[in-house]
Amino acid sequence: MRHIHAAAIALGLALGVIAIAATHGCSASAVKRQAVAADAIGRTLNGALPSVLQAYKQQQLDVAQLACGHTTPCADPEAARDAVMAVRAKWAPVWLAWELSRAAHDAWADQLDRCQREADAGDCAPSLAGLAATAVEHATELRCALRAVGVDDPLPGAAVCGKDGGL
């Protein structure tokens, strides 16, 4: 969980940079700030994935062992299978949010690359503002989905999520 904590801090800092960059036009320096933020978000999400996968696997193991009565061989394999399937269903929003966040980030990063190659970065403002906002929205959904499955989001000023952890 320490890796998730560090990743969440880096993600929060990157999201703050995005918010600042998105509100300050799209000059070459603003494009550069967004590119730095996009890179930080990409690295953060990639760095957090192993810890998130470990939490996912551990939850499945825990419920299977509990359903089996902590015995080998399992006293009730059907109950263990059902318990594992329930965990997988509970995590489905995480994987959807992860994929949406990845796709939004990729679209934003691609546009940033195009803008950095153009002579007049000011022409990028409309598309970058929307792409940055979408990336932030999906990153927030991911943070809330992780919280809903018991993965802590320890950031100060963390994402505002619903009572069940979702948006």
pLDDT in tens, 152-167: 664 445 677 876 555 5
- Distance separating alpha carbons of residues 58 and 84, to the nearest angstrom: 10
Looking at the chain, the whole-number percentage of residues with pLDDT higher than 70 is 72
Contact in structure between 91 and 106 (CB atoms under 8 Å): no
- 155 found inside a domain: no
Q: How many domains does the chain have?
A: 1
Q: Average pLDDT in the 76-94 region?
A: 97
- 165 found inside a domain: no
Q: What pTM was computed for the model?
A: 0.77
- 9 found inside a domain: yes
- 34 found inside a domain: yes
Q: Name which residue leads in pLDDT, 66 or 159.
A: 66
- The dihedrals phi and psi of 155, each to the nearest 5 degrees, come to -65, 140
- 163 found inside a domain: no
Mean of per-residue pLDDT scores for the chain:
81
- 153 found inside a domain: no
- Distance separating alpha carbons of residues 135 and 17, to the nearest angstrom: 12
- 10 found inside a domain: yes
Query: Does residue 27 surpass a pLDDT of 80?
Result: no
Helix (H, G, I), strand (E, B) or coil at 164: coil
Contact in structure between 50 and 121 (CB atoms under 8 Å): no
State which residues form the domain around 11. Answer: 2-148
- Distance separating alpha carbons of residues 109 and 48, to the nearest angstrom: 19
